[in-house]
Chain A
Amino acid sequence: MDGLHNWTLAAPEIFLAAAAMILLMIGVYRGERGADLVSSLCVASLGIAIFLVLRLEHGTAYHELFLVDAFTKMMKVLSLLAAGIAIVMSRSYFVLVGVWRFEFPVLVLLATLGMLVMISANDLMTLYLGLEMQSLALYVTAAFQRDSERSTEAGLKYFVLSSVASGMLLYGASLVYGFAGTTSFPGLARGFLAGDVATGAIIGLVFVLAGLVFKISAVPFHMWTPDVYEGAPTPVTALFSVAPKIAAMSLIVSVVMGPFRPLLAQWQQILVAVAVLSTIWGAIAALRQENIKRLMAYSSIANMGYVVLGLAAGTEEGVRSVVIYMIIYLAMNVGTFAVILSMRRKGVMVERISDLSGLAQRQPMMALALLLFMFSMAGIPPLAGFFAKLNVFLAAINAGLYVAATIAVLASVVGAYYYVRIVKVMYFDDPAEAFDRPVERDMAVVMLATALFVFPVFPVFQAPFMNGAQAAAKTFFSGR
């Protein structure tokens, strides 16, 4: 079989790679003035990539290194969407702090390319390739605000810790290869199914999972998250909190549900521990945060805990809950960050929770949107977040993970408290000085769209999303 005959399966990736290089050139020749042009072209490229992804057929390419199926397509669309929105939301911030450069959107484009490769990985090699491509671009974006000490520190910290995690992943991959004799996902699955499970391969799996868990910032590999979220420029934080999470999560799903599915008993323990710790720590540590970006960091730790819990079920239902959760998480998070990015007073970004005081009286629509996002994250019906959690808990309970599910629900009670605190600050506290008006048009559009999604679109029209998630989840169970 010639490895190249299916190359069209990678059309979105190839397109993005070419687009990134062309845009880089355009940027170089247009100089400072090119940022707006490059940025809009980047968004357009991501849009075209979505279109290309949707048109893909299913199959493998490059000697089974690369896989396209319903699940990967779904996740790719989500990642592309998240990245595109992140670029749209970044302009005003960077203009404000004076570093609106064409490199930023191009870097995001490259990171997204890495994500797509990650999602399509069907081999430990492809996995690593995509992961590193994504990470390298993201390190730079975290430190993009070069003159800011915090931003530089965030970038460096992210780089150091993430490289250690990548190293662990690579080490695990080499162990897996050493003990199982192959790096190909189908090959590994065949070997494990045949009962050939060496302890070394399990240790390899542990290391691979450790590296991947780091990327979704779940406990115990969460330490970098608050610092990086707080330090990185806010649009970058917005990007970090969604797109790479989707990609890394889908990578975990394809790793554990693909090659390592026969080892369910082993990884289930790991994932349950990760899920429980993440939900608890995400809820508790968030309680005393004063900085809303830090709060969102812990919130994303907790959210990832719930997603991992769904996955730990190891069932079709579980995978479906992961997909649903990621869709809803995307909307809630992007919306919240649109609000955070609009927190600007006399041309200066503010990011303390107390800055939101009395927002309801000054900017009622913005307050209402944030209220929807907060209640949704808290999992209070009838908002979308409730259904996200519902799916996860049902999957966990049906898989017999009673204790973990119960703990996670109780952790969500604690979590609800700090989300509600923000609502309280907005609605009940004495108004602080107003934010700059008008809110950027881009932000307003993002806020409106996501708020409408959280309520009422998702709660009312669940069927298409559920069906899509169902189809995506099925790929792992009906033979690809």
Chain B
Amino acid sequence: MPYEALLVAVLALPFAGSFLAALFRANARNAESWLAGGVALASLALAGAAYPLMAEGGIARYSAAWVPGLGLEFVIRMDGLAWAMTMLIAGIGFLVVLYARYYMSPADPVPRFFSFLLAFMGSMFGIVLSGNLIQLVFFWELTSLFSFLLIGYWHQTAQAREGARMALIVTSAGGLCLFAGVLLLGHMAGSYDLDHVLAAGDAIRSHRLYVPALILVLLGALTKSAQFPFHFWLPHAMAAPTPVSAYLHSATMVKAGVFLLVRLWPAMGGTHEWLWLVGSAGLVTFILGAFLAVFQQDLKGLLAHSTISHLGLITLLIGLDSPLGQVAAIFHIMNHATFKASLFMAAGIIDHETGTRDIRRLSGLWRFMPITGTLAMVAAAAMAGVPLLNGFLSKEMFFAETIEIHDGSPVDRALPYVVTAASMFTVAYSLRFIRDVFFGPPPTGLPRTPHEPPTLMRLPAEVLVLACLVVGIVPGYTVGPILETAVRSVLGAAVPEYSLAVWHGFTPELLMSAFAMAGGIAVYFLLRSWLLVCEGPPLFRHINGRRIFDRVLVTLSWRLARRLEEIFGSRRLQPQLRLLAAVALLAALAPFYMQDLVPRSMARPELDAAFALVWAVGIACALGAAWQAKFHRLAALILLGGAGLATCITFVWLSAPDLALTQLVVETVTTVLLLLGLRWLPKRLEEISPPARIRWYRGSDFAFALASGAGLAALAYAAMTRPSPDSIADFFVENAYTKGGGTNVVNVILVDFRGFDTFGEITVLGAVALTVYALLRRFRPAPESVPVPEQQRVQDIDDDAHPDRKKGDTVRSAMAVPGLIMRLLFPVIAVVAVYLLLRGHDLPGGGFVAGVTMAVAFILQYMARGTTWVEDRLRILPVRWMATGLLLAGGTGLGAWLFAKPFLTSSFSYLEIPLIGEIPMASALLFDLGVFALVVGATVLILIALAHQSVRSRRAPRSREAEATTLAPMAELR
């Protein structure tokens, strides 16, 4: 199929050209123009070659795999409408390139310009030729991007930057809305393929997502076509080089929006929502644009507002929701493109040759540039809708369409009068464009002496004006077949009767035209003297679209964001934690709320008074600890110990002596170690902020904690009252003796069944102890905690007061008796530890408990006699304890290999010892011994690390660095 190649070529050529154009030298104006012009002409020729097929009403398609799996194909689809648009884009594109060749000055870096222009042209082709909605959005955003780059071409000027940024934000945001709309649309139609979508109009209109989809699509189309209330970006885009304006704002960019509306009309139009949303946007834009255009002082500003107005007219036609309306809309898209492009070119020529675009400074240019003047006059007349020009024809159709009754509402009835009135302004600004610029006294004080431009620069405008004339005089022979082709592709079989004749007899619309003409002339002459001095349109002068846009942008993107961040964001840890917990709590409550969570069996547990009392004490301790945590750490810590003890008693109560024992010793040791660490934290905080606020914070935290705790308790209760899943607990209970040789199941699990885990755990414990030691070695206490602590100072007051006492005497005497007891306790505790170790396999006890107990003995010695005394007498250093422990445990495990058993297999027998009798002798005991040694070593090592802080820091103020090295504790350990 040759058409396929043709379609690919049309789309690929501009992009290839764009790439090539970027490679040229910065001043290669001629080469660039040849390239760009060639590309545009080639596209035009290629598209023209497709005419035979289009004339038959055929559709050319090319499809290739694009996003496999998503069911998306890259489809280039050309039907009549797409063809007409392609011709328009390529044709005017060629003329604009030619024009730009003379417009751009040699100083401008042209490769960038032509590269962007060609890429933009390609993107426009992409929009009109897309056979797939996603692909359409894709190219849609590309046009936003390239128009941004084109408008911002002269990025040295702030105006260009602002204009470009505004255009990009408005149109690409609209494009993303369109994206959402298209996604919904495709979902409703069941496919993103344009043919499917167009055929699925009924399904779409009756779908419940129709309105959201319509609104989203309209947001895309209306922003692109600069329709109210998004019209404000277009005038600011006039900072672009004039060829860009001539191209973007006549035939391409802004036409994409109305093109899309026409394209989707068969699928989405024909509803009340369409009529009102599209129609009213169009009507308001039409009136507003025309009104504002009259009061512009900048030539391009006038044209920009007139573009807005004309696009409003087209949108209104599409919104009127009738087949004839679509015909008129398509016709006006073409007509507007021709006359507006030529007007922009004329404005550019004037700017180029006189150096200004200010209407107030220009006048009487006719003398200097009669040909340009004639061209502008004809084009402006076409814009005003003067008979025998193309604008007249589509305007007549427009008037005729407004007279029709659509839904009978007051607005609908008033429509003909309203549009006639608005058209007066159209006539008025067209007249102003001509009369103020070309007639009147000769201009004074122009930057340059005006003269005719180079012939070739004028040529594009001449061609376009010729088209206006020819179409206006003999429409049936010129534009007729083209329009027919385009219209048929949109309306299909339902093409209404329409006539392109210049003369229809005396009709109401002719009357409207006459009124508009006469009224427009009257308006112009009434306002003329005032227009020359006014600084902007009345009423709207203070409504500066750009300022509002900026302010909205600042408010939304800056103030609002900051406000929200202040409310919802925080850099403080506490609120962050609170949020984390609160959300989890709420999330967990939701299922509770939705499905009642009643525990399967609500057996009331029997409650013993004593047990309840223990728990009451435990809970009170926990609450107290939380209450004091921030203010009195010592109290909090002790209370925490109380809560731990309650847990311990619970274990005893619930017949888990082993756990209780472990809990007890671990609780003791950790509390003591924490107490030792407390010395390095800042002291008790009395007041941190006003009490009322504190109370509020703490109260809310309390409530929150209570809720979380209650929730957890409820969940735990629900989980525990369920029949427990099959667990391996039974296995352990059954096999503890037969396979492990012990009756203390917990211990057997630790040293036998799960010996490997325990081995890992003691290794970790050793690593932790070493890490704590290593970290504390380098510990630098906060300056406020370096001096002698308060307690010690209190103790020393008496000693200092009496010259006969030495420092520390008070402490020594106070500690004399407890110290003695502690010292005496050492061997006792050691024996207890050994006892616990030995009996561990069968009765509560074990290596871990024994190790911690042994560590308690050491801690007592530290407290009784001080660091120096103890360390002088430490024969086996902690690191050796740990190493021995690990080696012993590992060795026991490896020993199993000697008997060809897997690692850590244990064996057991009984050993007859005289006097003591038969004791169980499992190899696990050796392993347990290793655990014991390691636990002792690790605990004592941590103790040493903590204890050394006080030794070091007291001397630290003198020479911290020297101390740190001489007392590097590793030396003492080796």
Contacts and interface: CB of A to CB of B under 8 A. Distances in A.
B746 interface: no
A164 interface: yes
B903 interface: no
B576 A161 contact: yes
Contact of A420 (B138, B168, B725): B168
Contacts of B583: 210, 220-221
B427 interface: no
A203 B588 contact: yes
Interface centre among B67, B212, B577 (most CB of A within 10 A): B67
Contact of A406 (B66, B137, B180, B715): B180
A382 B581 contact: no
B14 to A, nearest CB: 14
B569 A223 contact: yes
A409 B177 contact: yes
Interface residues of A, number: 73
B184 interface: yes
A406 B557 CA distance: 20
Contacts of B596: 199
Interface string A381-419: 110001100110110011000100110011011101110
Interface residues of B, number: 69
Given A207-B584, A417-B557, A470 B69 contact: yes
Given A178-B722, A200-B597, A207-B584, A284 B576 contact: no
B138 A382 contact: yes
B67 A288 contact: no
Interface in B192-206: none
B580 A223 contact: yes
B104 interface: no
A413 B180 CA distance: 10
15 contacts: A160-B573, A161-B580, A168-B580, A200-B718, A200-B722, A203-B591, A214-B580, A221-B583, A281-B568, A288-B558, A288-B561, A320-B69, A381-B137, A386-B138, A417-B173
Interface string A444-470: 000000000000000000110011011
A182 B725 contact: yes
Nearest to A176: B719
Nearest to B165: A424
Given A285-B565, A288-B557, A288-B561, A402 B161 contact: no
Given A381-B141, A409-B177, A161 B573 contact: yes
Contacts of A157: 573, 576
B256 to A, nearest CB: 14
B475 to A, nearest CB: 39
A11 interface: no
B180 A405 contact: yes
A210 B584 contact: yes
A203 B592 contact: yes
Contacts of A393: 179-180, 183
Given A165-B580, A179-B722, A380 B172 contact: yes
Contact of B569 (A171, A285, A375, A467): A285
Interface centre among B65, B134, B172, B180 (most CB of A within 10 A): B180
A203 B719 CA distance: 11
Given A413-B173, A417-B173, A382 B212 contact: no
What 4 pairs between A and B have smallest CB-CB spacing?
A181-B725, A409-B180, A178-B719, A287-B561
B519 to A, nearest CB: 42
Nearest to B160: A428
A243 B433 CA distance: 63
Contact of B591 (A181, A206, A287, A417): A206
A413 B719 contact: no
A266 interface: yes
Contact of B176 (A284, A288, A379, A382): A379
B348 interface: no
Contacts of A28: none
A414 B161 CA distance: 20
B129 to A, nearest CB: 16
Interface of A: 157, 160-161, 164-165, 168, 171, 174-175, 177-182, 198-200, 202-203, 206-207, 210, 214, 220-221, 223-224, 226-227, 266, 270, 281, 284-288, 320, 375, 379-382, 386-387, 390-391, 393-394, 397-398, 402, 405-406, 409-410, 412-414, 416-418, 420, 424, 427-428, 462-463, 466-467, 469-470
Interface string B60-103: 00000111111000000000000000000000000000000000
A199 B597 contact: yes
Contact of B571 (A227, A381, A382): A227
Contacts of A202: 591, 595
A168 B712 CA distance: 11
A224 B576 contact: yes
A398 to B, nearest CB: 7
A354 B67 CA distance: 38
A177 B726 CA distance: 11
A466 B176 contact: no
Given A381-B137, A463-B68, 13 more contacts: A168-B584, A199-B591, A203-B597, A203-B715, A284-B564, A287-B558, A288-B561, A393-B183, A394-B70, A406-B184, A406-B212, A413-B176, A420-B165
Nearest to A360: B155
A285 B165 contact: no
B165 A223 contact: no
A202 B596 CA distance: 12
Contact of B579 (A220, A417, A420): A220
A397 B184 contact: yes
Interface SS, A side: helix
Contacts of A416: 172-173, 176
A308 to B, nearest CB: 15
A200 B577 CA distance: 24
A402 B183 CA distance: 9
A194 B807 CA distance: 77
Nearest to A288: B561
B562 interface: yes
A204 B580 CA distance: 16
A101 to B, nearest CB: 15
Contacts of B177: 409-410, 413
Nearest to A473: B69
A285 B561 contact: yes
A410 B69 contact: no
A223 B579 contact: yes
A200 B584 contact: no
B788 interface: no
A266 B65 CA distance: 37
Contact of A287 (B169, B557, B568): B557
Contact of B580 (A180, A221, A390, A414): A221
Contact of B588 (A206, A223, A466, A470): A206
B814 interface: no
Contacts of A270: 587
B959 to A, nearest CB: 23
Contacts of A224: 576
Interface in B544-581: 556-558, 560-562, 564-565, 568-571, 573, 575-577, 579-581
Contacts of A206: 584, 587-588, 590-591
A417 B549 CA distance: 14
A292 to B, nearest CB: 16
B579 to A, nearest CB: 6
Contacts of A379: 176
A386 B182 CA distance: 14
B184 A402 contact: yes
B686 to A, nearest CB: 25
B212 to A, nearest CB: 7
A462 B134 CA distance: 16
Contacts of B260: none
Contact of B161 (A413, A418, A428): A428
A463 B65 CA distance: 9
Contacts of A466: 67-70
Contact of B138 (A284, A381, A410): A381
A405 B139 CA distance: 21
